[in-house]
Amino acid sequence: MPLLSSVFYGVLLAGILLVQTASASAQDMAASVPPGLVDQQGRTFDAASLKGRWHLMYFGFTHCPEVCPTSLFEMTAALDLLAPVQQEQITPVFVTVDPKRDTPELMAAYVKPLGHGIVTVSGDVEAIDRFAISRRIVAVRNIQDGPDYTVDHTSSVQLLDPQGREVERFPYDMDYHEVSRRIGTHMSASAGPNLLK
């Protein structure tokens, strides 16, 4: 039964994802932050949390053996290459796809060595799943594998503008130098020539 439930959940989630990918606009996605999410300080994380600043957002989990730590490291490496004034205007966000194990305290400790003031997001399972779907992220928890289960999930980094809209999505295998260049280009185009002064 657990295996069948996991497979069914994965198929259902993928189906919902396809529908939303075809129909959701950037504005719709910006507004789709369900209740029940909190950051590492226990503060409510909602649509307003993604407004007023640029954000670089990644969905993953702390028990991930390789892909997630690599993605987070390269995400912060891309930020290191931005102009100082651009670094001040963007916040990295790490959203768990494994809320049963990833507590706010655990996530805070996990990202602390990476610096850059990473905001972590956790919450109840339903809220996390709804948020993932709204951001076009597929995540399937292989709980049939026991307590050390893994989570199969979309591994990409999303760049959000100060209105919370996704302006570009960077795949896992994109070099962080190129990611940084594209982030800088988007930020400069949005703010005009004064951003780099």
3-state helix, strand, coil split of the chain in percent (to 5) is 50, 20, 30
In this model, does residue 24 exceed pLDDT 50? no
Question: What is the CATH class of 2-196?
Answer: alpha beta
pLDDT tens digits, one per residue of 89-120? 999 999 999 999 999 999 999 999 999 999 99
Instruction: Provide the residue ranges of all domains of the chain, joining segments of one domain with +.
Output: 2-196
Q: What is the mean pLDDT of residues 28-51?
A: 86
Greatest C-alpha distance within the chain: 60
Q: What is the mean pLDDT of residues 17-40?
A: 63
pLDDT score at 41? 93
pLDDT score at 148? 87
Q: Which residue spans within 7-82 are E strands per DSSP?
A: 37-38, 54-60
Pairing, β 139-141 against β 37-38:
unpaired
Return the H-helix or E-strand segment holding 121: strand 119-123
Euclidean distance between the first and the last CA atom of the chain, given in angstroms as a whole number: 60
Q: What is the mean pLDDT of residues 156-179?
A: 96
Return the H-helix or E-strand segment holding 91: strand 90-96
pLDDT score at 176? 97
pLDDT score at 31? 52
Confidence at 50, pLDDT banded by 50, 70, 90: very high
pLDDT tens digits, one per residue of 117-151? 999 999 999 999 999 999 999 999 998 888 889 99
pLDDT score at 193? 52
- Return the axis-axis angle of helices 2-23 and 125-134, rounded to nearest 10°: 40
Confidence at 51, pLDDT banded by 50, 70, 90: very high
The DSSP code for 168 is E
Average pLDDT of the chain to the nearest whole number = 85
